[in-house]
Amino acid sequence: MFHANLRSRFAELVQKPIPEQIKLIIEKWDPSNPNCAFRTYLYNKVEEHAVPHYHPGPQDDPKEWDEALRNKPAPNFMPVLCAGFPSIVARLTLQRRALAEFNNKLHAINASLDAILSRHDLEHSVRALNARRRHAEQSRRCLVLAAKVQILRNRGYALSGDEDELKQKLQKIDKELQDPALSARLEELWSRLIILRQYADSLKDEINKPGALDNGGLSEEVEAKAKKILEDYDKQLQHLRKQVEEAKKDFDEWEKEHQPTPAPAKKAC
């Protein structure tokens, strides 16, 4: 049966005139012709709310488009006509452009992380070191003052109002400096920076895997993963920037509020 059909088609082809056969061959190779033999449907991932807005184009066969729509791999995928080699080249070019944009965003994220780490090392680390130095100096001065107060108490002298107020302020400052909340916040910010750097490195390794472009560009899984990680980067960077600003504001207020109060001058007897 198969050989009979093949012989009949071959006989029809032989019976056609040469110009008509040439025209038929040209139509089979012409991407803009509906009779092109190199026509297939690929899929683009779109937002779910935009799926109802997609319809067959002027060069689409409604039946073939509906069949491709029924065979789509996921609900948020829509068929796109790919006719001939120029369409494949255009799609590969678009995927390479998208890959270049992902790489640019990764470089921007790495640059932002490096800037945050540098600013943290140059500003917060130095200020924390200065704060520890001032704390050590104030602790030494408090110890000297406590020794003098104890000597005065042993001699029967009572503290004046200014001295008692200074004592309470010093005790409050010492208690706040021993509070682990400040160091915990710094550790949290540092861990967030490390996590962001690891995410950026993992995504860069995933994109630069050999064969990512040989297989037709980024796979849908890698593209979805890259999009989700970039969105998480943006959210975490915004949250991290907010946390750093709040920590800086709290530290500035604390530093302004707890400047060492000069000791009151004693009246000459």
* 87-134 tens-digit pLDDT: 888 888 988 998 999 999 999 998 888 888 888 877 777 788 888 888
Measured CA to CA in angstroms, residue 187 lies from 58, 71, 138, 230, 245 at distances of 59, 51, 25, 24, 15
pLDDT at 18: 76
pLDDT surpasses 50 at 14: yes
Torsion of CA 7, 8, 9, 11, to 10 degrees: 80
Q: What's the burial of 68, exposed, middle or buried (CB within 10 Å: 0-12/13-18/19+)?
A: buried
pLDDT at 209: 65
Mean pLDDT computed over 194-212:
69
**Overall pTM > 0.85:** no
Q: What is the pLDDT of residues 47-80, one digit of tens each?
A: 888 888 888 888 888 888 888 888 888 888 889 8
pLDDT at 5: 52
Please state at what angle helix 220-257 crosses helix 181-207, rounded to 10 degrees: 160
pLDDT at 62: 84
pLDDT at 104: 92
Q: What is the pLDDT of residues 122-176, one digit of tens each?
A: 777 778 888 888 888 888 888 888 887 777 777 666 666 776 777 777 777 777 7
pLDDT at 148: 78
| pLDDT more than 90, % of the chain | 3
Taking a C-beta distance cutoff of 8 angstroms, is the pair 55, 47 a contact? no
pLDDT at 184: 74
pLDDT at 13: 53
d(CA 122, CA 190): 14
Pick the closest to residue 228 from 45, 72, 78, 55 (CA basis): 45
Taking a C-beta distance cutoff of 8 angstroms, is the pair 116, 240 a contact? yes
